[in-house]
Chains A and B, each alone.
Chain A
Amino acid sequence: MKKHPYQKMTKTLAVLFSITMVFILSQTLWAAPKLEQSKAKGGDCAACHVKAKMLPDKHADTKAMNWEACKTCHTKDNLSLIGKLPGSHRHQLAEVNCVKCHGKTKKPEALTMEQCVACHGSTAKLVEKTKDVKPTNPHTSPHYGSELDCNLCHHQHAKSENYCAQCHKFDFKTP
């Protein structure tokens, strides 16, 4: 098919737009994590977020912190971090960096739950662990049993969500 001049123009515009967006994003909010950054400490927000301020003014300096250190102030009942941090941050703070899940690659790909289960153990154990959660056990259902992909709720690079809530009124707080 011959390219219409309009299409060429659109393409140029799209490229310009993309470049601009990448520039804006990287300077202000967030830089796409590169694998080199996986060497950064979990508490070193600026390593990925560049100049953006991620924590409240009075927050202690987190640069040298790991997940254990976070837990001295953030407990389950007080200042809980449940649902506040994308899973990758939680992983990074526990020294599970990009490479540990995605492997050494220039183009990290989306992973399946086999990767999660390899470290976290069998889903059967998880089902048992959350059997008393109300209104219902989030890790088993009449539809998918215990095999619904972990990533559908526990996002690693975005805020986690309650996948069940598409159809149900289950009020889960998803870490």
Chain B
Amino acid sequence: MKKDDIKEKTLSRRNFLKTTGAAAAAAMAVGGLAIPAKNAQAAGDALPKKWDETYDVVVIGSGFAGLAAAIEAKNAGANVVVLDKMPVHGGNSIINGGDFSAPGTKMQEANGVKDSAEVMLKDMLRAGLYLNHPENAKMVAYGAKDAFEWSESYIGARYTKLNFHGGHSVKRTHGTITASGSELVNKMYAKTKDLGVKIQLRTKLVKFISNKEGRIVGLEVRKDYKFPDESTGKTAFIKAKKAVVLSSGGFSQDLRLRQIQDPRLTDKFGSTNQPGATGEALMAACIAGAMDVQMDWIQLGPWTSPDEKGFGYVPLFCEPLVGYGLMINPKTGKRFFKETGNRKERADAIIAVGEPVLIMGDSYAVPKQVVPEKLQKGMEIGAIKKFDTLEDVAKNYNIPVDVFLKEVARWNSFVEKKKDDDFGCMIFPDTKPTVVAPFYVARLWPKVHHTMGGLVIDKNAQVIGFDFKPVKGLYAAGEVTGGVHGAVRLGGVAMADCLVFGRVAGKNAADEKAWG
């Protein structure tokens, strides 16, 4: 975005130097001494002479987690404000695929799926390589159903489709009616406004302000900030009488931070995220004493396409097709991995192939599994292609045709007997052999999708500091936190995570005793 503003720049250089100076000092404390980070900042933090605004609870970020927190805090009687640095609300939540994983729901029952929180937790831990903080993972698995029902009955979001995502052991992912998270986040946004919560866009967090005891008491922000122009915005101080809830999302679009954590993730990898998904708010919390965890577990989405920008349409084509269609390495003409594997396994397998691979389905599977409008859009921009014969598929992608035809026949034989001898792909009761023309194909190449790591929280969504004690007055929820997902976040569990912990954070923030 460009600045569209004729107003005088209001950030003074003196103020800028002061802020970055303090940040650098605290950062040095983190790096050099580790433990007294919080104290180092606390000692240096002079409270502003005058607070420009005062609220009980200040929520940072207007995605699923932030709005869930704002709604619950407001309903618990707190005076709440939501800040977002972007000119639009909704963060990544408004561009996400709208898939909500929850166990034991009515929709599962209607589809004959047996499931439980216990099984969901096992799936999360297995995919997470058991690096998940077990208590937090349990909160999400056991709280997902209630959060899902709240999103339907209280918020009014509509879900129409039960989807499967790689790494889950059953179909437990509930797709919104629009196949977009906007269905939920826009209704949460409307609810938040209806409840009388103030929402301030273009307001960027600069730093947390702590008192002498290290308690978070407020924020320095820049109002009327024009992302991504760091010279814009006017400094203001916002007092948080009870608590701050940080729900600022992950840092997939933060090239500098993500390469510090995982140097392989250069600009050669695109991202599915909105451009504001950067890590400065997370780091501001660390400077104020919050502990970070598992920051280098950064997830690549294995279902994205090199033939479109961002998240695009292909994930909404690929993921509903796994277990119904097959993935092919065009160099060999053969399958190369378990299609229903989790995100990490599949992204690693594609990167090992070294060039884009193919996902394909026939005219039985595709119309049945893929939302027609998304298929149409994907075809219009050329990211999904249609072919009359398998030979045409081979010709278009330079696949050795004989090997390819044999491989499709081999897959079809596995489908017939409901068992994949080669890779152990899940084959669903209603999966049929890939034989009905025309055939639909898309190319796949991973993009940076989710940052599993982030701030350490306990099961009350209270942020934990480098002294292992809660950072008083600071709660966090959603992708800015770490530990729930361990090494791999499963599909649809972000929505569950954001709603479960967002609501907990909002309630507990409202229950804090006001400091002044």
Contacts and interface: CB of A to CB of B under 8 A. Distances in A.
Given A135-B380, A143-B182, A145-B186, A169 B1 contact: no
A124 interface: no
A7 B17 CA distance: 8
B119 interface: no
Contacts of B94: 143-144
A131 to B, nearest CB: 14
Choose among B4, B178, B274 the residue with the greatest number of A CB atoms under 10 Å from its CB. B4
A161 B171 CA distance: 42
Contacts of A108: 6-7
Main secondary structure of the interface of A (DSSP, over half): loop
Interface in A74-131: 107-110
The interface residues of chain B, by DSSP majority, are classed as loop
Interface in B340-380: 377, 380
Contacts of A144: 88, 90, 94, 182, 186
B12 A11 contact: yes
Contacts of A152: 1, 87-88
Interface in B173-210: 178-180, 182, 186
Interface residues of A, number: 32
Contacts of B18: 1, 7
Contacts of A136: 377
Nearest to A13: B13
A64 interface: no
Contacts of A14: 12-14
B422 interface: no
B377 A168 contact: no
B1 A161 contact: yes
Given A110-B5, A135-B380, A157-B6, A143 B14 contact: no
Contact of A169 (B2, B14, B88, B309): B309
B95 interface: yes
A11 B13 contact: yes
A26 to B, nearest CB: 13
A136 B179 CA distance: 17
A150 to B, nearest CB: 11
Interface of B: 1-7, 12-14, 17-18, 46, 87-88, 90, 94-95, 178-180, 182, 186, 224, 274-275, 308-312, 377, 380-381
20 contacts: A10-B17, A11-B13, A14-B12, A14-B13, A32-B6, A107-B7, A135-B381, A142-B178, A143-B90, A143-B94, A143-B182, A144-B90, A148-B88, A149-B88, A151-B4, A152-B88, A157-B5, A166-B1, A168-B308, A168-B310
Interface of A: 1, 7, 10-11, 14, 32-33, 107-110, 135-136, 142-145, 148-149, 151-152, 155-159, 161, 163, 166-169
